[in-house]
């Protein structure tokens, strides 16, 4: 694993998303995990248990910050106050790179607390790229955005999601956190080929990969992070590795959370699927 400039040339392997119910286990049992991803907003506090816990985790593990609140597509641009808080946390964690979502979530100071999809237009791509440049200039750490899962498509979109992702990443000159579960969820919900998505994005910009579980309904899939990773998502992950090469990979599990051992075992499956991806790459 050689890494790239969007993940600080990281050689981190397979990580696990740190969740509050697992913290005591991680601190006391010190499981053999390559790295943990934290949700930045959970630690944007002035004191108390969150920061105490974070410092203890940091003593033993690399920590990568993953945000849910920069809202790259908010019409009003990134919040100076939020960026200042995130920058304080960057100094504390020493995160080698930082990620957030290619979405919007608030307007006029009212928050949806959701990762809402954007219209895929050239104008919106330019707007997001401008926001990302502000974020990169302010935070001074490599930045990558995550593709979100979506359940709705805008009438005014003029390009595919992967074209939009590419436009934003290249205009902002930033990395991509490729969430293959989100690609799969959106592919089913919108009826596109997930392999076309993978083929359409600039592989050299993929800084990190997310895998997660989802919930299947009759007419759609919801990105719930409450199940093991589905087989088609592992297949997509192998295809992503074949295209991007070895990439830091993280399992997200947020709801109906099983024991840490179970989550960790699920994350470790990524190694075998990555091996499958490497074989696919060798086979051409």
Partner 1 sequence: MPGDGALAALQRRVVAALREPIGGASRARTDLPPRDVAASAAFVATANDLFTPSSALTAVERLELYHRQYWYRLLDSIAEDFPALRRALGRVGFWDLVEAYLEATPSRSFTLRHLGAGLADFVAAHPERVRHPVHAEDLARLEYALCLAFEAGARPAVAPERLGDLRLALQPHVQPLALRTAADTLWRRADAGRPRGRVAPPSPTPSRHVVVFRDDLVPTLERVHVGAYAILTAIAGTGSLDAAMARVAEAGVLPRRDAAARVTAWFQRWMRRGWLCEAEPDAAACDRRGPTL
In the shown chain, the binding pattern of residues 32 to 71 toward partner 1, with x for contact by CB under 8 A and - for none, equals: ---------x--xxxxxxx-x----------------x--
Q: Which of 31, 34, 57, 79 binds partner 1 (CB under 8 A)?
A: 79
Count of C-beta atoms within a 10 Å radius of residue 202: 14
Q: Residue 197 CB, nearest distance to partner 1 (Å)? A: 17
In the shown chain, the binding pattern of residues 177 to 206 toward partner 1, with x for contact by CB under 8 A and - for none, equals: ------------xxx---------------
Buried-exposed string 104-140: b where 16+ CB fall within 10 A, e elsewhere: bbbeeeeeeeebbbbbbbeebbebbbebbebbbebbe
| 215 and 248 Cβ atoms separated by less than 8 Å | no
Q: Which is nearer to partner 1, 9 or 151 (CB)?
A: 151
Q: Which of 154, 196, 262, 265 binds partner 1 (CB under 8 A)?
A: 154
Burial class (CB in 10 A: 0-12, 13-18, 19+), 2: exposed
Q: Residue 213 CB, nearest distance to partner 1 (Å)? A: 17
Tokens of 3: 């890494």
Q: Which residues face 101 on adjacent strands?
A: 146
Q: Which is nearer to partner 1, 101 or 205 (CB)?
A: 101
The strand pair at 63-66 and 98-101 is best described as: parallel
Site for partner 1, rule CB under 8 A: 41, 44-50, 52, 69, 73-85, 104, 106-114, 116, 119, 123-124, 127, 130-131, 134, 151-156, 189-191, 218-220, 222
């Amino acid at each position: 694993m050689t890494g790239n400039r969007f993940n600080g040339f990281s050689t981190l392997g397979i990580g696990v998303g740190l969740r509050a119910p697992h913290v005591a286990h991680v601190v006391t049992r010190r499981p053999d995990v390559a790295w943990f991803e934290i949700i930045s907003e959970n630690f944007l506090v002035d004191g108390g248990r969150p920061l105490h816990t974070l410092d203890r985790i940091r003593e033993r593990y690399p920590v990568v910050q993953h945000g849910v609140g920069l809202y790259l597509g908010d019409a009003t641009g990134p919040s100076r106050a939020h960026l200042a808080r995130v920058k304080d946390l960057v100094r504390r964690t020493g995160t080698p790179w930082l990620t957030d979502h290619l979405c919007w979530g608030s307007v006029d100071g009212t928050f949806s607390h959701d990762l809402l999809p954007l219209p895929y237009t050239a104008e919106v791509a330019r707007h997001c790229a401008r926001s990302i440049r502000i974020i990169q200039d302010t935070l001074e750490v490599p930045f990558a955005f995550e593709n979100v899962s979506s359940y709705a498509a805008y009438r005014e979109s003029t390009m595919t999601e992967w074209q939009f992702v590419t436009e934003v990443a290249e205009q902002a000159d930033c990395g991509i956190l490729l969430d293959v579960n989100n690609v799969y969820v959106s592919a089913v919900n919108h009826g596109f080929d997930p392999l076309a998505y993978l083929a359409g994005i600039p592989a050299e910009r993929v800084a990190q990969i997310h895998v997660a579980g989802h919930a299947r309904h009759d007419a759609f899939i919801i990105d719930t992070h409450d199940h093991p990773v589905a087989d088609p998502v592992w297949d997509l992950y192998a295809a992503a590795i074949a295209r991007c090469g070895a990439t830091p990979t993280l399992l997200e599990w947020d709801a109906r959370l099983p024991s840490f051992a179970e989550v960790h075992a699920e994350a470790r499956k990524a190694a075998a699927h990555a091996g499958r991806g490497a074989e696919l790459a060798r086979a051409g």
